[in-house]
Structure 1
Amino acid sequence: MSDNASRAEAIRDRYRSTLGTIPRGAEDRLRLAEQHDRLDTEEAIMALRHIVLTDNALGPRVQQLVHFGQLLALGRSDPARIHARGALHAGATTGDLIGVAETAVLTAGVPAYALGIEIIAELIGPPD
């Protein structure tokens, strides 16, 4: 494996450990960075993410829930989905996600709440 391939795989491993998966956008960025010798940028971003998400008093579960809520308030559906999954991966419950969506109604209105509930419904699937 080449040095660039090893470096890119290390970044992918970080995504897997944090989110349980590699988001499509992150994979696209890594592929281009690897092809064009720009992995330094991705490594710098990953180092910052590691500090904020891991070396933080809130811990990974709460951090992912905060990201989910902030992204709902911003109306950023795709990143909100990523962080809702990341919150579940970090030990959050469906109730935690619902609580975040309910809080979003106060800070960002019914559209943010509705987006949150839509994402949660997608994640838990249809009732049995």
Structure 2
Amino acid sequence: MTRAEIEKQFIERFGSIPSAVQTRLEVAEATGRLEALSALEAFRKITIDESPLTAKIQRLVHFGMTLAIAEDEAIAAHALSAHREGASLSELVGVCESAAIVLGMPAYTRGMRAVSKLLESES
């Protein structure tokens, strides 16, 4: 995959290129490792586009997984991605509730913060 193809993939999923992705691209280019990053992104594309899970379910799973890493930008991006794939705000809250059981209240709160931003944007 070229840098342009990688960027397009993220714009289609998230509406923009997350800063963490931008950093990965810049460092990979600067160090001559864009080919390695390209291979990782090609793997990501295959596992997402050819998954037995529906796009909506997959995005909900990704949202739930980001609650564990505690990076607000990633959490918000994955909440938006799931919502763009048809997940309702109630389904996103359900993921937050499930996360509370496994990850505790901090994860629940992080997820609810992301859902709150989606609620605000819809108002």
TM-score normalised by L of structure 1:
0.83
Asked if 1:41 corresponds to 2:50, the answer is no
Distance in 2, Cα, partners of 1:33 & 1:81? 25
Structure 1: 5+ residue stretches without partners: 1-5
Asked if 1:53 corresponds to 2:42, the answer is no
Structure 2: 5+ residue stretches without partners: none
Change beyond 3 A, Cα 1:67–1:114 = same
Aligned-residue sequence identity (percent) comes to 32
TM-score normalised by L of structure 2:
0.86
Higher alpha-carbon deviation: 47-56 or 31-40 = 31-40
CA RMSD of aligned residues (A): 2.0
Per-residue deviation, residues 58-110 of structure 1 (Å, max 9, x unmatched): 12211111111122134333322221111122222211111111111111111
Quick check: which has more Rg, 1 or 2? 1
Per-residue deviation, residues 2-56 of structure 1 (Å, max 9, x unmatched): xxxx921111011112222211111122123234432112211111111221111
SS of the aligned residue for 2:2 comes to helix
Confirm or deny: 8 A CA contact 1:64 1:83 kept in the other structure.
yes
2:9 to 14, 18, 27: 14
